[in-house]
């Protein structure tokens, strides 16, 4: 009998992803991102999902939640190995949801720029904007 591997993000974003993001946001109150190995294993492949998956996942969540997720994902991508997403960063997809709502906090782009090493944040790639 063969053992099959299962990719937690293969079926898209789920409630487990929401819980991990919310726990990571709460952990920032202690001054650092606290994600155990299992949580990282769930979140790492989700970083590569397309923008449509992130946008569909986020539409039912409040603006304050999306802003918190944008911040945690910006920091996770910068600080944890294997989370680099480049122009596919979910931060861009979440920002698009906030823009569609006309609810982008005025200081959010400056915050992202000052906390990221991803050259595509917060504006995305030029090709995506044409």
Q: Please, what is the end-to-end C-alpha distance for the chain in angstroms?
A: 51
Output 105 or 3, whichever has higher pLDDT: 105
Is 27 in contact with 43 (CB distance < 8 Å)?
Answer: no
pTM of the model: 0.88
User: What pLDDT was estimated at residue 125?
Assistant: 81
User: What pLDDT was estimated at residue 28?
Assistant: 86
User: What pLDDT was estimated at residue 127?
Assistant: 61
Q: Which helix (H) or strand (E) holds 20?
A: helix 15-27
The CA-atom distances, in angstroms, between 110 and each of 47, 106, 113, 116, 122 are 22, 8, 5, 10, 9
């Amino acid at each position: 009998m063969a053992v099959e591997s299962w990719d937690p993000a293969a079926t898209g974003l789920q409630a487990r992803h929401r819980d991990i993001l919310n726990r990571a946001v709460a952990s920032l109150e202690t001054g650092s991102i606290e994600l155990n190995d299992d949580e990282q294993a769930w979140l790492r492949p989700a970083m590569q999902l397309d923008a449509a998956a992130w946008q569909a996942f986020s539409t039912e969540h409040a603006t304050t939640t999306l802003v918190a997720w944008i911040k945690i994902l910006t920091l996770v991508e910068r600080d944890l190995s294997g989370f680099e997403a480049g122009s596919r960063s979910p931060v861009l997809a979440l920002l698009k949801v906030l823009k569609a709502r006309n609810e982008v906090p005025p200081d959010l782009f400056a915050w992202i720029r000052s906390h990221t090493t991803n050259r595509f944040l917060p504006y995305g790639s030029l090709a995506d904007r044409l």
